Amino acid sequence: MSITETRIGKSDEDGSLVYRGYPIKELTDHASFEETAYLITRGALPTRQQLDEFSTSMKTEMAVPQKALDVMKDLGRDAHPIDALRTACSALGSLDRARSVHAQQASIEAKMSVLAANCHRAPKGEKPRTPREGVGLAANLLHMLTDRKPSDYELWVFERALILYMEHDLNASSFTVRVVASTLADPYAAVSAGLASLKGPLHGGANEGAMEMLLSVKEPENVPSFLDGALGAGKKVIGFGHRVYKKFDPRALILKDCLKEILRRRGEDDKLYRLCDAMEREMMQRKGIPANLDFYAAPVFFLLGIEIPLYTPIFAASRVFGWMAHYDEQVTDNKLIRPDATYVGPTNLNYSPIESR
Ligand SMILES: CC(C)(COP(=O)(O)OP(=O)(O)OC[C@H]1O[C@@H](n2cnc3c(N)ncnc32)[C@H](O)[C@@H]1OP(=O)(O)O)[C@@H](O)C(=O)NCCC(=O)NCCS
């Protein structure tokens, strides 16, 4: 297979997204997070027995060694959560060198939720939150993030968001993972690199930026003047635009409906929804640029009571399954990724002694 071919998933300019042949809406309408994680990493939906075995292996691997929690704590209270997460991931790699690649993959897939939930707490010296017995990955993650019991609908929505974050073909972090995998470095190394790539505000960091922006704009009526200022200053409006989707992001549509429905079920004022909708309409009218997944994931996470610095770590807790699928696809029939550069700099220069420069 060439570097741009994949059997894992595909996003298209026309607004379609497919995981392993399934349109995304099929999965968000019917599948659980674990079923989708199995589909993405193994290539097909699981039987009941396969799903049970997968869930058991995730539970077995979830326990995070104290040392990995300690390295996050040692970074100190000002540490960026993604820096803490990445550092813990590196530490796990150093602590787990003897096992097979497959075991290492299961380990980082399962532990990423626990690390994500604690990467903001541990640097502040707060007591780690640990997984509960007898609940699935999504419920465990939401519980560890918020320490509160969500309604069934809230949990269902959170699972939809996780499913939507899981895979997106050759996005920056998955491509980074593939480059590292192509050197045959271990999965922890590849995931550490993926996390580094996810930190940037143009990629994973956008969901946090989108929520900060929504909180600063406050009222739907403030949208026009906010956009006058932002666009007038030539700024990118976080949560809008995409390298692939140019008409609409199908993931944003799904979470937009969820946002509306959470507020309706709670009987709460729908101002947050109206604010998002006003921003989306205005951006479309002025720039023809659609809202992306991060724009609608942000208010959904906010309503679920999740602290803003944890939004990108949540992305990582889901995308780690996509990363591991790309890792496998890369190392099967591997070729070291090494683009041939086109040199466009000066040539035939003569060395001049430092004193004469
Ligand atoms: C994702 C992103 C990097 C894609 O960038 P891109 O591929 O360069 O986008 P395009 O080529 O479609 O940009 C076309 C034009 O729209 C502008 N544009 C794109 N996204 C914009 C945004 N969010 N706000 C304002 N203008 C934007 C570009 O500046 C460009 O303008 P120009 O033609 O005057 O130079 C960009 O949209 C962005 O930075 N978005 C904000 C961050 C974000 O939400 N990231 C998460 C992505 S899932």
Q: What b/e sequence results for 37-46 when a residue is b if at least 16 CB atoms lie within 10 Å of its CB, and e otherwise?
A: bbbbbeeebb
Is the separation of the CB atoms in 141 and 290 below 8 Å? no
Q: What b/e sequence results for 169-186 when a residue is b if at least 16 CB atoms lie within 10 Å of its CB, and e otherwise?
A: bbbbbbbbbbbbbbeeeb
Active site residue 29: no
Sign of the CA dihedral with 190 first, then 195, 201, and 205 last: positive
Q: Would you state the pLDDT for residue 134?
A: 86
Q: How far is the CA of 237 from the centre of ligand 1 (A)?
A: 8
| Amino acid residing at 193 | A
The single residue of 143, 242, 249, 326 carrying the catalytic annotation is: 242
Say if ligand 1 is within 6 A of residue 242 CB. Answer: yes
Nearest CA among 53, 280, 257, 30 for reference residue 163: 30
Say what the pTM is: 0.96
pLDDT tens across the length of the chain (357 residues): 888 999 999 999 999 999 999 999 999 999 999 999 999 999 999 999 999 999 999 999 999 999 999 999 999 999 999 999 999 999 999 999 999 999 999 999 999 999 999 999 999 999 999 999 889 999 999 999 999 999 999 999 999 999 999 999 999 999 999 999 999 999 999 999 999 999 998 888 899 999 999 999 999 999 999 999 999 999 999 999 999 999 999 999 999 999 999 999 999 999 999 999 999 999 999 999 999 999 999 999 999 999 999 999 999 999 999 999 999 999 999 999 999 999 999 999 999 999 999
Say if ligand 1 is within 6 A of residue 211 CB. Answer: no
Q: How far is the CA of 161 from the centre of ligand 1 (A)?
A: 22
4 in helix, strand or coil?
coil
Say if ligand 1 is within 6 A of residue 208 CB. Answer: no
Atom of ligand 1 nearest to the CA of 242: 1
Say if ligand 1 is within 6 A of residue 42 CB. Answer: no
The single residue of 96, 249, 294, 328 carrying the catalytic annotation is: 294
342 in helix, strand or coil?
coil
Tokens of 73: 């704590």
Q: How far is the CA of 236 from the centre of ligand 1 (A)?
A: 6
322 vs 149: CA distance, rounded Å: 28
Q: Would you state the pLDDT for residue 183?
A: 98
Say if ligand 1 is within 6 A of residue 283 CB. Answer: no
Active site residue 242: yes
**Residue 27: CA atoms inside 13 Å, Cβ hemisphere, count?**
31
